[in-house]
Chain A
Amino acid sequence: MSHFKLRLYITGRTSQSQRAIDNLRRICEGEFPGLYEVEVIDVLEHPALAEREKILATPTLVKRLPEPVRKIIGDLSDRERVLIGLDLEHLDRGMHP
């Protein structure tokens, strides 16, 4: 299985931000423990980075690797849709996108 390089954009330390961080950690540890790298970026501190990646909404999870690059928006509470976004939907038996 390939290595995941993820970037999570949040705006400030809000409860929504925290929820997204927790959800992401849970999914990564459950699906591909040890095979991922996550950077959490606060747009308020690094607006230029958000500008470069054209982030509009937060939270936004950017799957940088494996390709294709994809943006997943929302607080990642819908686990199935997060897996679709990460191209891992086949792991959920019987799931269709």
Chain B
Amino acid sequence: MSRLPPLELTKLPTGIIGFDQIANGGIPKGRSTLISGTAGSGKTVLALQFLLSGVRQFEENGVFVTFEEAPIDLMQNVRSFGWDLEGLLADKRIAVVDATPEPGEETITTGPYDLSALLARIENAIRTVNAKRVILDAIGALFPQLTDPNIIRRELHRIAAGLRQLGVTTLITMERTDEEGGVGRWGVEEFVADNVILLRNRLEQEKRRRTVEILKFRGATHHKGEYPFTIDGEDGVTIIPLSAIELKQRSSQIRVSSGVPELDKMCGGGMYRDSIILTSGATGTGKTLMVSQYIKAAIAAGERALLFGAEESREQLTRNAASWGVDFEQAEKDGLLRIVCRYPEVMGLEDHLIQMKRDILDFKPARVAIDSMSAFERVSTPKSFREFVIALTSTIKHLEITGMLTNTTSMLAGGESITETHISTITDTIILLRYVELHGEMRRGLTVLKMRGTYHDKDIREYTIDSTGPHIHGPFRGVHGILSGTPTYTFDSERSRLNNMFASAPDDPHAGA
């Protein structure tokens, strides 16, 4: 008995960032793929980018056929992306077929007809520039232009077949009226039903969120579900291939300092170089301080650090660091530090992600810090926040650099936030900072809740902050319930409490107080 090997269609890489990952290599080669989406969902930009990447990255020329927007308008619209379609047109790298209706023109039908003139024009354009990629943009505009939808459907089928014979790979864009429901409004999906991509542009918490979903690729595999994407002036369409991100980062055994020697000791000798550290605590517990120590350690080692501020301005961050003896200004001058401050509210999370990735790839830091991660939670839905965290941490890990994220908990003592539950499974090390109410005083406690791949100190230790930074002291002995926010004492007597405190922490300045 012989078995046929599984036959997978050849894919054509689109060259669109992230798309080829979710499409398992690209769109089916030599076939037509329908892109359907509501107005403004980014269909045309995606299609044009497919064409442009062909020319730029793969030496493949292209043809674009436009049914709705005049070629000149289309070319001017995408100039904001730095795409010079006019230049490519002049160099015969691309050709244009203008199938837009003449303004004010009415057509009169006097009997049977077909669209073979259009097909002949497309074929001619393909031959002229030796195109391998073709886009048919806004094909739905044909319907009001010509009268008989049945003829158009039949003819589009013929055009798709004709293009297939020429061996070109085609993207067809089509408007749909609704984010859900049918693929297209004219029943066109049937003629290219083999491959369908849906673009959505939903309003979520007063922010637009774009997603792309590959509905089907006949005879070829792809990732399922929706993936967020952004459109911006630098890269055009960028797809964020979240769950398609592979967990294939190598694990480093190299340790780096957290900037706090006692903390390094608690962690068994420092943080792993390619790990993500989450520092979580209520406001004022010293998260930003931890961040500045962490950056100080990078600067001291002559390595670069990138700090993303989401709550405080550069001046505030610099001043705070100076009060703990860390000179951000000098480090920036030396090229060892870059501070990027963007309030979460200024754009969508996907855009933040793209920008941050760009900053990281551009500055090439050895350490990244985000202060605070929870600030981004304010402006998004739990789902997109989780995606944001995954995408960002995987970028950091992929580069085998260290990342520190901070999280502000809402309760002063104890408590757990959504951010914590969201981030905790992704991070390698979690440091909790907590207020401890003890004998009528607010003290600060620190514990290493988790540290992947190594032994760590499990005590809850007291720490204090002075002008030289944080100092970690002995553990809170005889107290439990600190993490839940309601500490109780288990001392037999006041005397044993005092004995214990003096005995366990001789260097503790608070011990005698």
Binding site for B on A (CB under 8 A): 9, 11-12, 16, 20, 23, 43-44, 47-48, 50-51, 54-61, 70-78, 81-82, 84-85
Contacts and interface: CB of A to CB of B under 8 A. Distances in A.
A78 to B, nearest CB: 4
B118 A57 contact: yes
Contacts of A71: 105, 107-108
A23 B113 CA distance: 14
A59 B109 CA distance: 10
B112 A54 contact: no
Nearest to A16: B112
- Across the A-B interface, give the 7 residue pairs with the lowest CB-CB distance, nearest first: A47-B124, A74-B111, A77-B111, A74-B110, A75-B111, A11-B116, A85-B108
Contact of B116 (A58, A70, A77, A84): A58
B482 to A, nearest CB: 76
Interface residues of B, number: 26
Given A54-B99, A57-B146, A43 B117 contact: yes
A84 B107 CA distance: 11
Interface of B: 97-100, 102, 105-118, 120-121, 123-124, 142, 145-146
Contact of B107 (A58, A59, A73): A73
B415 to A, nearest CB: 66
Contacts of B142: 56
A76 B111 contact: yes
B111 A47 contact: no
A74 B151 CA distance: 12
Contacts of B123: 47
Nearest to A59: B113
Nearest to B101: A54
B73 to A, nearest CB: 15
B165 to A, nearest CB: 15
A10 to B, nearest CB: 9
Nearest to B104: A68
A9 B110 contact: no
B115 A57 contact: yes
Nearest to A75: B111
Given A55-B117, A56-B117, A81-B109, 11 more contacts: A9-B117, A11-B120, A12-B116, A51-B121, A56-B99, A56-B118, A57-B118, A58-B116, A74-B113, A76-B110, A81-B108
B156 to A, nearest CB: 12
A56 B111 contact: no
Contacts of B107: 71-73
Nearest to B96: A51
A60 B117 contact: yes
B120 A57 contact: no
A75 B111 CA distance: 5
A97 to B, nearest CB: 10
B110 A72 contact: yes
Nearest to A79: B110
A87 to B, nearest CB: 11
B112 A47 contact: no
A50 B121 contact: yes
